[in-house]
Amino acid sequence: MKAWEFEHKLTADAVPPELHDDNEADWMTYTEAGRASDKQLFHDWDNKVPGSKAPCDVVIAAIQSMHNRGYDVSEAEKFMEEGLKASEEKDGAAIQVATAKIFHALNEAPKDPASAYWNYNTYRTFTDVEKEADFGAPASYDVFSEDFARKITAGWMGQLIGGCLGTQIEGYTTEQIRRRFGEVYGYLRRPETYNDDITYEIAYLDGFIEKGYDITPADVAYKWLELISDGYSAEKTAIENLRRGLLPPESGTTNNYFYDWIGAQMRTPLHGMLAPGDPKLAARLAADDSIVSHSNNGMLGGIFNALLTSLAFTEDHIRTVVEKAVDMIPHKSEYYAVVKHALDLCKENTSWEPVWAACEERYKEYNWIHAYPNAAAEVIALWFGNMDFKETCHIIAMEGQDADCTAAPVLNTLAIMIGLAPIDDSYIKPIGDRILTTMRRYQNFKIAELCQWTTDAVRNAAKKQSGKSK
**Contact criterion met (CB below 8 Å) for 155 and 329:** no
> Around Cβ 79, how many Cβ atoms within 10 Å?
20
CA–chain centroid gap for 181, Å, is 26
**pLDDT tens profile 56-114:** 999 999 999 999 999 999 999 999 999 999 999 999 999 999 999 999 999 999 999 99
Work out the burial of residue 97: count CB atoms within 10 Å of its CB; fewer than 13 is exposed, 13-18 middle, 19 or more buried: middle
Q: Tens place of pLDDT for every residue, the chain, 470 residues?
A: 899 999 999 999 999 888 776 666 666 666 777 788 899 999 999 989 888 999 999 999 999 999 999 999 999 999 999 999 999 999 999 999 999 999 999 999 999 999 999 999 999 999 999 999 999 999 999 999 999 999 999 999 999 999 999 999 999 999 999 999 999 999 999 998 888 889 999 999 999 999 999 999 999 999 999 999 889 899 999 999 999 999 999 999 999 999 999 999 999 999 999 999 999 999 999 999 999 999 999 999 999 999 999 999 999 999 999 999 999 999 999 999 999 999 999 999 999 999 999 999 999 999 999 999 999 999 999 999 999 999 999 999 999 999 999 999 999 999 999 999 999 999 999 999 999 998 999 999 999 999 999 999 999 999 998 877 65
**pLDDT tens profile 155-180:** 999 999 999 999 999 999 999 999 99
In order, the DSSP letters of 256-281 are -TTTTBSHHHHT-HHHHHHSTT-HHH
CA–chain centroid gap for 187, Å, is 22
Whole-angstrom distance, CA of residue 33 vs CA of residue 45: 19
Whole-angstrom distance, CA of residue 252 vs CA of residue 242: 9
211 bridge partner residues: none
**Contact criterion met (CB below 8 Å) for 87 and 80:** no
Please state at what angle helix 447-469 crosses helix 196-211, rounded to 10 degrees: 40
Three-state secondary-structure class, residue 192: coil
Backbone angles phi, psi at 172, to 5 degrees: -125, 160
Whole-angstrom distance, CA of residue 448 vs CA of residue 431: 13
CA distances from 360 to 100, 348, 372 (A): 32, 17, 10
**Contact criterion met (CB below 8 Å) for 415 and 423:** yes
**Contact criterion met (CB below 8 Å) for 366 and 301:** no
**Contact criterion met (CB below 8 Å) for 457 and 208:** yes
Question: What domains lie within the chain, and their CATH numbers?
Answer: 3-118 (no CATH), 124-469 (1.10.4080.10)
Nearest CA to 115 out of 67, 74, 76, 78 is that of 67
**What pTM value is reported for the model?**
0.95
